[in-house]
Every structure is written in structure tokens, then in C-alpha cells.
Amino acid sequence: MADNASPDNATDIRTAPTRTQDRPTEVTAAGIARLAGVGRAAVSNWRRRHADFPKPVGGTETSPAFALRDIEQWLRDQGKLAEVPLRERVWQQLVGHPAGAAAALRQAGAVLLLAHDRPAAWQQLRAAADDAELTGVLPAVLDAVLAARLGPGHPVRGLTREALGPSAALVRATGDLAAADGAAAAYDFLLGRHLDANPRQYTLTPPGPAALMAELAAVAGPSGTVLDPACGAGALLAAAGESAAGEGDAPGTLYGQEADADLAALTALRLALGVPDAQVRVRAADTLRADAFPDLAADAVLVHPPFNERNWGHDELAYDPRWEYGFPARTESELAWVQHALARLRAGGTAVLLMPPAAASRRSGRRIRADLLRRGALRAVIALPAGAAPPNGVPLHLWVLRKPGTTPPAPQLLVVDTAGPATGAPGGRDKPDWQSVRTTAVEAWRAFDRDGGIEEQPGVRRSLAAIDLLDDDVDLAPARHLPPPAAAGGPAELARVRERLTTTLARTTALTPRPGAAAAGPARWPLTTVGELARAGALVLRAGGAGTAPAGGAAPAVLTDHDVIGGGAPTGALPEAPASGPAEEPVLLQAGDVVVPVLGGGAVARVADDSTAGAALGRNLTLLRPDPAALDPWFLAGFLRGTANNRQASSYASTATRLDVRRLQLPRLPLADQRRYGQRFRDLAAFEEALRLTARLGEQLVQGLHDGLTDGSVTPD
């Protein structure tokens, strides 16, 4: 599995599938925006307004690609580009390399390692040699550096004079980038861009789960030797090295194995540059069929194995000695990885695997799960919230294993569900709070590992005797063994919910709107549109969706269209700024702004208050900022919610109705009359929020009573 990459570096600069030296490097609109230091909307405007803007040479109708040299020349002619940024120049040379981006990145990484480990030798070599001499002498120098850092048999191959010949410009530019950014940062940028440019080829392990797995493995003590037998791009091994450095320990030796030879080479270079104090040993081979470290006894094993593989070697590995706990079925490739991890641990060593939830309950794996429990090898199953790692719609599990020694512990299993703490409430759908996930998991595992048991926390954690799990299913899913928090509160908690519901119902009754005075017929007000008001300066229109998080600074939460429709607090997050080019400023809300969903929201408009002020405006939202001397915000929002108003301003060209906010109408009324209507609309909003709270409390009370009656904490009386 491939791992952690820099987020939001989209596939913006690329080459055609057939890479040749005479084939021009192509760039998309996102890449043009990076080169010029502008937003993507500016590039779209240039294409519309300038007849001489270069024509597309590839890509698709929705994502055209342009010849990079033509774009650079046009930008210079327009005074929009003085010089291509160094990072972009190296990236362009890398993706346009005749041997392909992976081979070029392997060469660039080796040069960066030389610049990092032997800076004086690199500078002397670079200054004394022309291009031909440089590429002639360089292979032997690189081989010596690679052998010293990566050991014999390392996967960084193919650095011959012939391979480096067309790369002289790339070699020198890479050296410039190392001097400007530092070798490790330069390689992180290039590797991250490469992984992001090939999203279907790699499955990434996010930084959060990687750091958590490394921390869980280190609970028993520092891990001098760490193995990842499915290392991908090395996120887990890098996290292990960072964890050791954070505790003041030496990183030790990092062992990795990866079936993809190109990726294994790139990972070896990443680890050598990113964890310079560690010994790095990465090999390219299929781990289950051709184990590169058969005699290793590691302190820790971290694995994000491939999921649901059928062709993992079932037929040819039937008598492999690694299957100490049972021969895995063809459909249980994950249990083959579990046993491989145990086989490569020293006695008492810890393994942490990221697993699909089905591995805890499939009937085909119940015998192996039972033996893992009986012998005390499987120590904990920790459920992560959905979205913690790909596939993002599935709540994955972490399995924590300990290789039994001469005196195995009493068979106990810790089960933890981090979804509740991550969202603030069981079953919540907000974005997971990763810090809460980490705290819940690490504290539970640390206490369990120290004491051999743990105090039960309903809905969150529990220690179970293995014998209680050895039934016909041996189902280890944490949710099946944790009592729900609502039932744990018992009658006292249900009484508190009932009291809140009663209070809210009373408030709802008080807020129930009274019908207005009867009118003779529909009003015949003079009307204006939002577009006309914007042109007159009575309000400002802004579209949402732009903006990136500032590097190293606190980023505002994002108000999404789902938050507006559901009446909730901001739950979105800004993407990180690109590695090169300036960060985009988001649109920030102010109290009194009116926010309107433009896609499929129906008749919805929301007035921002102090609780949402400062949040960034999300995609598919339009902000209307009225001039308080001309428009009352509640009057504006109330009339925008009229059904007939939305109907005439909507597009029915597709199933996803899109609202043209500029066509929305409202009457021309004096400010005093606007405020009278605005107060009534404000009262309606308070009533609507009270109804939402009533619905939530009612659902909580009903579920709590069901849980209490079914577990005996509430009697029928």
C-alpha cells in the first residue's frame, strides 16, 4: 500500500502517456495558476478575454491541458511571469523525463541524498564538471552513497551514465532545490506531487492513523527495530521514526518491503532523507511469496495491508511455517498479513495493523481469530471513525497484537470504539476530531497493557475475557460488545433528557407563530432583484469554495452547504495550501451576512450570527453582505426563502436544481418596514431551531427507552 502524500497537490502538470523528449510537457489550469501565483478563476478569465491565449493540446473538455512552453511564453509576454519558480521547474523536468516520472524521481532522490550526506563532495563535483563529465562520474558516487545508507541489495537501481545522460539539467536543478529548501523538504515535495498525480495507482495512509499506529506500538517501550512488510511510500515507517525522535530515542533500523520496485526505491530514499539517524533497509518483492527478511525479529511491526486480495499466494503457501494460528482461507488475505507480522516479531514485540472491519467477523476467519485469542496474541481491536483512512466510507479497525513469550498473559481482549468521542456523540456525523481519537485509543491501550484490564466506559471501551468471545462466530467487532451510552445512564439520564424535552416543547409552544392580519389579497409591491441591489451597492455578492489553510497557522472552520441546510455549526476544513505558490484567501463570514445554498438546497437562507462569524464560506454557497443602512439582513433572508421566489430563480435543466441568486426578488420597502418583517422572520428562525432541538431530544429519549427496556435498566413500570 502506498502512503502519506502532501494533500491537495492535484494532478496539475503532466505529460502525455507516451513520454518522449520531443513531446511537450503539458500543464492544466491549476498548474498555470501555480506558475502565475493566481487563483484558478483568473486563468478561466484569461482564456475568455484574451484571443491569443494558447489553445489546448490535450486533456479533456472539462480539464484541458496546454503546452507548458507556450503558457510560459504567454505569461511572460503579458508580464505575469518573470521566472518559473524553482520547484515548478524541477517538477516540469521530472514529469517530462523520457524515462518517466518514477525513474526521474529516483534519480533526483539519489542526488538529493548525495547533497544531504556529502554536501562538500556534491558541490565540488558539480562545480568542476560539465554536463557530460557530471553524468559520467555521478553514477559511481551515487552508488557509494546509496550502499552506505541503504545497505547492499537496495532497490534504487538504474542510475547508469546512459540513464543520467538526458538528466543533466534535472540533476543540476535538483541540486539548486536542495540548496534552497533542504534535501529532505525538496524530496517530500517531489514525492508528494508524484503520488498525488497518480491517485488511482496508490492508496494513501493519512498522517493521523500512521502516527497513532506508531504510538500504540511504542507503548511497551522504544522500538529499535521496526518493520513494515507492505510499506508503500513509507508513511508508517516515517511515523515510527518521528515517534522515536519525539521521545528522545534513536530511530534504530527501519525495514520495509514493497512489491512495486519503483515505489520501493522512492520509499527507501524518502526514509533515508526524512529519518537520517535511522538505518534504512527497504527491499522490492512480494512479501507473502518472497519474504526479504525471513530471519528478522523486530521490536514492532506496522502494516496497512492490501484489503480483500484473492491472489495473495493461497495455493502455493499452504505449508508455510508462518501459519502458526491456522491456514488462512483464500478470502482472508488480511489474516495472512496478521500471521506474517507475528512471525517477524521478537517475543513480546508489538504489531499494529490497519484492518477492514469485516476481518473481525467473517465466518471464514473465526478459527484463526479464536486461536489468536486463546494464545493471547490478539490484545486489542480499536474501531476508528469513518473517514479516518481510505476507503473513507468504512470505519476501519486497528488490531494490536503482542507475540506471546514464555509466559503469555491471561487471554483478555480490549475493545475500543473511538467514533463516539471523535464526534462528540454516538452516531454523530460531524468530521472526526482526530485528537480525541488518538487520546481515546492510546489511553485505553496504555492502561490495558499496564494492568491487564481496564475500567469499562460504556460505548467507548471494555475489557473482555477471551473465553466469552469463543462462540460459533468469534465476532470481535467492538460495537457488538460495548453497551450503548444512553442505556448506561439509566433512568437518571433518561429523566434529564425528558426534562430538556419538556422545556423545549414549552418553548416551542411559546414561539409558535400566530397568523398575521388577513389581507385583501397578494401584495403588489414594486420588486427589485439581488443582482440590481448588488449593482447599486446595497449588498455585496461573494461565491464560496475558494481558499486554502495558511502554512503553519490556525485555519478557520468551513461553513458547508450541508451545515446551512441542516442548521448546524461549521464542520468543514480548508485544504492545505499548495507546496508552491501563494495560499488563496477564503471568504470569511461576518455577523449579519446572508448565506444561500445554490445547489439543491430548496428555499433556504441563513443569517450568520456571532457563532458562525469568522468561518470560511464553503462550496455551493453564495454570501450576500447587505449594507445595514439600506437592507435589513433578516428581511433579506426571509424574502429569499419564499417558494415562488426560489422557483422563478432556479434552473430545472438537471436533476440538481441550481439557484441563480442574482434573480431572486424582494420588495422595495422603507428600512422601518423591512425591520418589522425582519423581526417576524427572526422569530420564525427561532421557532425552526426549537423544532430541530425537539426532534433531536425526542429521538434520544425514544432510543434511550428502547435501550433501557432491552437491557433491563428501565422496567416496564
- The DSSP line for 286-312 is -TTTS-S-TT--EEEEEE-PPSS-S-S
Please give the Cα distance from 269 to 156 (Å, whole number): 8
| Centroid of chain to Cα 485 | 29
Which residues have C-beta within 8 Å of that of residue 353, sequence separation ≥ 6? 302, 303, 304, 305, 334, 337, 338, 341, 398, 399, 401
Phi and psi torsions of 435, nearest 5°: -65, -40
Q: Strand, helix or coil at 648?
A: helix
Residue 463 in grid coordinates? 475489557
Q: How many other CB atoms sit within 10 Å of the CB of residue 11? A: 15
Q: How many other CB atoms sit within 10 Å of the CB of residue 225? A: 21
Residue 165: the pLDDT is: 73
Contacts 24+ apart (CB under 8 A), 389-394: 389/205, 389/206, 389/209, 389/304, 389/354, 390/203, 390/204, 394/356, 394/357
In the chain, which residues have pLDDT < 50? 2, 4-23, 424-430, 653-656
Number of C-alpha atoms within 13 angstroms, CB side, residue 193? Answer: 22
Please give the Cα distance from 335 to 345 (Å, whole number): 16
The answer to whether the beta carbons of residues 165 and 135 sit under 8 Å apart is yes
DSSP 56-87: P-EE-SSSEEEEHHHHHHHHHHTTS-SS--HH
CA dihedral 310, 311, 315, 321 (to 10 degrees): -90
Please give the Cα distance from 677 to 636 (Å, whole number): 9
Residue 80: the pLDDT is: 79
Phi and psi torsions of 522, nearest 5°: -60, 140
Q: Among all chains, which residue has been given the C-alpha cell 499506529?
A: 213
Number of H helices, E strands in the chain: 23, 24
Among the listed residues 304, 236, 297, 295, the one whose alpha carbon sits nearest the alpha carbon of residue 270: 236
Residue 432: the pLDDT is: 66
Q: Strand, helix or coil at 172?
A: helix
The answer to whether the beta carbons of residues 530 and 624 sit under 8 Å apart is yes
Residue 600: the pLDDT is: 60
Q: Which helix (H) or strand (E) holds 678?
A: helix 671-711
The C-alpha angle 450, 451, 454, rounded to 5 degrees, equals 115
The answer to whether the beta carbons of residues 454 and 461 sit under 8 Å apart is yes
3-class secondary structure per residue, 461-491: EEEEEHHHHCCCCCCCCHHHCCCCHHHHHHH
Report strand pairing: 13-14 vs 58-59: unpaired
Please give the Cα distance from 483 to 440 (Å, whole number): 17
DSSP 108-143: HHHHHHHHHH-HHHHHHHHHH--HHHHHHHHHHHHH
Residue 490: the pLDDT is: 66
Q: Which helix (H) or strand (E) holds 559?
A: strand 557-559
Task: Give strand ranges (E) for 148-305.
Answer: 225-228, 253-258, 279-284, 298-303
Q: Is 299 exposed, middle or buried (0-12, 13-18, 19+ CB in 10 A)?
A: buried
Residue 80 in grid coordinates? 505575469
Please give the Cα distance from 577 to 7 (Å, whole number): 9
Among the listed residues 306, 361, 384, 347, the one whose alpha carbon sits nearest the alpha carbon of residue 475: 361
Among the listed residues 17, 15, 41, the one whose alpha carbon sits nearest the alpha carbon of residue 29: 41
Among the listed residues 383, 712, 313, 694, the one whose alpha carbon sits nearest the alpha carbon of residue 509: 694
Q: Which amino acid is at 165?
A: G
Please give the Cα distance from 330 to 311 (Å, whole number): 8
Is the preceding omega at residue 391 within 30 degrees of 0, hence cis?
yes
Q: Strand, helix or coil at 26?
A: strand
pLDDT digits (tens, 9 = 90+) for 70-107: 888 898 888 877 566 788 778 878 877 778 888 889 99
Residue 279: the pLDDT is: 92
Q: Which helix (H) or strand (E) holds 659?
A: strand 658-659
